[in-house]
Amino acid sequence: MTSLLERRLLFVTGKGGVGKTTIAAGLAWLLATRGKRVLACEVDAKGDLAAAFELGDVGFDPVEVPGGPWVMSMDTEASLREYLRLQLRIPVIGRIGPLASAFDFVAAAAPGVREILTVGKLCYEVRERRYDAIVVDAAATGHVLGHLTAPQAINDLVKVGLIRSQTTWMLDILNDAATTGVVVVATPEEMPVAETIELVDAIRSTTRVDVAGVVVNRTLPELFGVRDEATFASIAAARPGVLDESRFDGVFDAARHATVRRRIAAEHVTTLRAALPGDLPLVLQPYLFTRAEGRRATRQVATALAGELS
């Protein structure tokens, strides 16, 4: 199995709120620091990926992070324009206007039309080899299958035409496990774990795209061993000596909070591990106690991922 870091196209997905953008940014940064030319692409245009690199507004044209990846934001209209110019040799100047709304309309009806413009652009970049690796901050759990299955859906629905002829090479790229992989991000909580199990199952049963790994974000280290936990419990119950002063309330609350969270999280990780195929890498990404966003945090995520992945 090709290691996650050797693939050229990585789709990073997961339930909303689990930090998939953080992980995508960390992966992109990690690959870039290993000397690769990396493109990081945000699919849902919320601007979170640009924020992870402190870039401000980023559009369809990639912006370089010094020492890091190139960052772009997917725009299906721009992708359509590029496609028309490069493939059909129809130059489109300015906004596409009516054509874009026409496309919106067809896209509303035809499954996969909008998605294929996203996946098509990503596959195109893989084929052009201007980047060594492309990390996609992909759509959330509910929508990512739409992207991964778009070429096949179009292939099944559209029998002739230019789009049809374009899907074959895309499928070759997407279905090649040495090239493409999906990274599913979860947190050690009930819903994200349940969705991750469902998604991995759905990807494996409805597509031929390879799942490269699962990252469990925000995992907590074990605070106490079993015996120390008992020791802590008896101290916390009695609070002898100075410990009964109210200024220590926060200290005991923090330790209890950390222990309870850790225990619940560990149960969810166990559930996840048991449900996933044995050969699928499961990466535990620690909870970051320092800054929560920006380049500093992205670097720290990259460092932690490097430790887990190599």
Partner 1 sequence: MTTPSSVRRLVETREILLCCGPGGVGKTTIAASLAMLAATTTPGRVLVLTIDPAKRLAQALGLEGIGNDVVRIDDETLAAAGAVPRGELHCAMLDMKRSWDDLIRRHAPDAPTARRILSNPLYQNITGRFVQSHDYIAMERLHELHATGEWDLIVVDTPPTRNALDFLDAPARMEEFFSSRLLRWLILPARGGLLGIAARPFTQIADRILGTQFLEDITEFFLSLQSMYGGFVERARAVSRLLSDERTSFVVVATPEPTPLREADFFLRELRSRRYEIGALVLNRALPSSLSAPATESAAEALAADAEGIAKVAARALDLDIEAAARVLRTAAASAREWSVVARREAAARERMASAAPLVVTVPSLDGEVGDLEGILALSGVIGSAA
Residues in a beta bridge with 219: 286
Q: Is 252 in the site for partner 1 (CB under 8 A)?
A: yes
Compute CA distances 251 → 240, 241, 302, whole Å: 14, 15, 31
Shortest spacing between CB 23 and partner 1, in angstroms: 13
Footprint of partner 1 on 94-123 (CB under 8 A): 98-99, 101-102, 105-106, 108-111, 113
Q: Name the residue among 24, 240, 233 with its Cα closest to residue 122.
A: 24
Q: Is 304 in the site for partner 1 (CB under 8 A)?
A: no
Dihedral-angle region of residue 111 (phi above 0 means left; psi in -120 to 50 means alpha; beta otherwise): beta
Among 4-12, 233-241, 269-277, 298-306, the segment contacting partner 1 (CB under 8 A): 233-241
Shortest spacing between CB 200 and partner 1, in angstroms: 17
Q: Is 142 in the site for partner 1 (CB under 8 A)?
A: yes
Residues in a beta bridge with 57: none
Q: Is 228 in the site for partner 1 (CB under 8 A)?
A: yes
Q: Is 164 in the site for partner 1 (CB under 8 A)?
A: yes
Q: Going along 65-138, which residue ranges are E strands?
A: 70-73, 133-137
The Cα 42–Cα 165 span in angstroms is: 26
**Nearer to partner 1 among residue 258 and residue 284 (C-beta):** 258
Among 25-33, 66-74, 123-131, 227-235, the segment contacting partner 1 (CB under 8 A): 227-235
Q: Is 224 in the site for partner 1 (CB under 8 A)?
A: yes
**Nearer to partner 1 among residue 59 and residue 67 (C-beta):** 59
Packing angle of the helix pair 141-157, 162-174 (nearest 10 deg): 130
Q: Is 76 in the site for partner 1 (CB under 8 A)?
A: no
Q: Is 56 in the site for partner 1 (CB under 8 A)?
A: no
How crowded is residue 125: how many other Cβ atoms within 10 Å of its Cβ?
Answer: 18
